[in-house]
Structures are given as structure tokens and as C-alpha cells.
Structure 1
């Protein structure tokens, strides 16, 4: 499940500069647990191991820590009235709304640029289990509503039973149950629809590699290969 938050930029109070931030709490929790295990094993090897073991542990940590952080803690999606900024594990993609053709949800959530290029939203993972649960809830609600509509008892004005009216009132008040990530995609589609044609939402798509992740990971991999090669 992914939760929204808000990020305020101190330079201006204008609503267009306020970001909605979407991240995956489960991803963050998993990343913290994974990094805790890596540091625990790595530090133990550095403290108790022999010289070669210490170097192997150091190289492994230099390789694993940035990659583990990149795929768990780093992913985030920032959305405001001007653009969508996607912070994926190894890249940062900035797409003005005017450059976005659609937002798709299948087995993964992704953005399709007007050029046809697709970018996956790592911070908004699809939960098939949550979708199934939402669908089952909708089926149960529909069944109860139909049963109330066919049932006897007191009837409200218009010829329908009070149970029918109450059921529909509850459904109208809360709307259909949906998976959390599907709700987030609905929010992003609404931003696209409302601001896709705005002058402030035009521009070029920019893609930047996360060298702060790639650099240390490559260094750790090279050091690890050298240590394994020399035996």
C-alpha cells in the first residue's frame, strides 16, 4: 500500500509548487529490515573476520547497501499542478503533464509519455490481493443491496423499502471500495486531466541517472570481483 503526503517548498506558497508525495510503506519497512541484516552481518564480519573476510564483507556492503536502498527506500512519486516527478531506483524522470499521454494500471502502474516511452512507477506497486479484496467487497455490497431491494418490510416513498434506501445511501456516501494504489492512480489521472493543457504544465521530459546509487554499486562490484579473482 502506498500513502500520500505533502511536501512544501519554502520558496513560494503557491499551490502549484506543493508536491503530493507517494511512497510505499511496505517497501520502506522491507528496506529497513534488509539493511539492518546487511549491516549486522557486515559489521560482524569486519570486527571478527580475518583480513580477506573483512575485505570481502566491505566490498559486499559497498555493493549491496546502495542497491538495497535504491529498490526499497528510494522510490517515490512527486506530483503537483505542473509536472510528475518519478524517483525510481536508478533514474529520476520529470514529465510535465503536457508530455503525458496516459497513466496505465495493469500488473504494474506506469506512465506513457506522448513519445510512446513508458516509465514504471516503482513507488506505487500494484497489489493484486488488494484488488481482489476490493472486488469481493463490491460484490458483497451489491448482493446486500439487491437483497434489500427485493425484501419486504416498510417501504419508503417511491415504492422502495427503507432497507434499500439505507443501503444506497451508504453506497453513495462512501463510494465503491478500491485498492489504495488504484485510488492513487485515479488522483494522478485527475491531475493529468485538469492540468494537461495548462501553459505551466508544458516542457520537455528529462531523465537523469542516479549516479549516487550506480557509482558506489559499481565500485563495490569491481572490488568484490577483484578479491574473488585474486583468491
Structure 2
């Protein structure tokens, strides 16, 4: 008696894409907020304490949202995009294309979603192109032997490499059983609610004088 093998292979652990520079910036900014607002809460007078608390309540979640939080998680079946205020889950079967122009983005079901954790650096692109151009000229002039970097084409900026990997995963996983389904979008109220509460409290305090 023969047993039928499943069409899909195992789903491996997620690949995680995030900006290390953004994380470092976020940690340093949080430290500054805690220092300044903590000083106001601990040593300020009554109204100053409340203002420090309101600023911290608003600034901390926003800082986390725009620096530490953004990430892209990708496996064989789907991609999960964690942006500042939304989480978008995209099965590969729903993805039309992953591309990088002035920003990295994914097109799916007629909608466009930006990848906040994959910042595009035009400066890095130009630097890579200049390096490739100098190498190509040196090879053409006979001053240097041909290298793999020249013969295989220009080097890619980091964001373009990430987008290439995601596009490859999308193409390879689109036909998988687990890659079916529609796009799911969830608002991140755990970020929005405290930031909004802090902003409202700060406005009230400033209005009251």
C-alpha cells in the first residue's frame, strides 16, 4: 500500500529583515527620553511631572514604532510585514511583486505596502555603481584582471539584495499549499492607544496652562 507524500515540504524558520541602524537609533533615543522625562517626573513640580509623563507616554511608543518595531518576517509560505502602525500578512500566492524604487514595497491584490524595515539608500546604490564602473574601466584598460564582481554585473545595494531575496521567495513559494489565502491587515493598537493617550494628555495640560 503506497502512501501519498504531501505536496509541500517543511516550512523553515522565518528570515528576519530589519535595519540595525534604526534599532541603534531607537535605543539611544529611548534612553534620552527616559533620562529627560524621568528627571522631570522625579524632580519637577506638580505640573512639570505630568507634562514629563505625558511626553514619555506619547514619545516612547512612537519611537519604538518607527525605529525598533519595523521588521519583515519571511518563510516558505508567507511574508509578515510589521510597520509602525500596521501588521500585514501576505501569503506568497497573493503577492504580485516585491520591488525597490525610492522605497522598498510589495504589491498584492491591487494594494501597495511599504517595507519600513528595508530602507532604500540612493547613496549606497550610486556608490556601488561607481565602484563597478571603476572596476569595469580598469579591466577594459588591461590594468586589472577580470573579476567575478565585474563579469557578473554591478554590485547591489543592501535594500536591493533584500528585495531580490523576497522576490525569489515569492516566486518559489507561490504554488505551495500553505501560500494560499488573502492579505490580512491588522492595526497595531498597542502602539496607537498609548501614543494617542499621551498626546491628548499633553494637549490638555498645555491648554490649561
TM-score relative to the length of structure 2: 0.91
How many residue pairs match? The answer is 201
Instruction: Say what the alpha-carbon RMSD is for the aligned residues.
Output: 1.6
The answer to which structure, 1 or 2, has the higher relative contact order (CA under 8 A, 6+ apart) is 2
TM-score relative to the length of structure 1: 0.83
SS of residue paired to 2:99: strand
After TM superposition, give the deviation of residue 76 of structure 1 in Å.
0.3
In structure 2, distance between residues paired with 1:108 and 1:179 = 13
Alignment of 1:219 onto 2:197:
yes
Alignment-derived partner of residue 206 in structure 2: 228
Which 5+ residue runs of structure 2 have no aligned equivalent? 1-8
Q: How does 1:35-184 map to 2 (within 5 A)?
A: 35-113=30-108, 115-148=109-142, 166-169=145-148, 171-172=150-151, 176-184=154-162
In structure 1, distance between residues paired with 2:116 and 2:15 = 16
In structure 1, distance between residues paired with 2:149 and 2:125 = 21
In structure 2, distance between residues paired with 1:15 and 1:144 = 47
What whole-Å deviation, never above 9, does each CA across 1:119-168 have from its counterpart, x for those lacking one?
A: 000000001111011010110111111112xx7xxxxxxxxxxx6xx414
Could you say if the C-alpha distance between residues 95 and 49 of structure 1 is closer, same or farther in structure 2, counting changes exceeding 3 Å? same
Which structure would you say has the larger Rg? 1
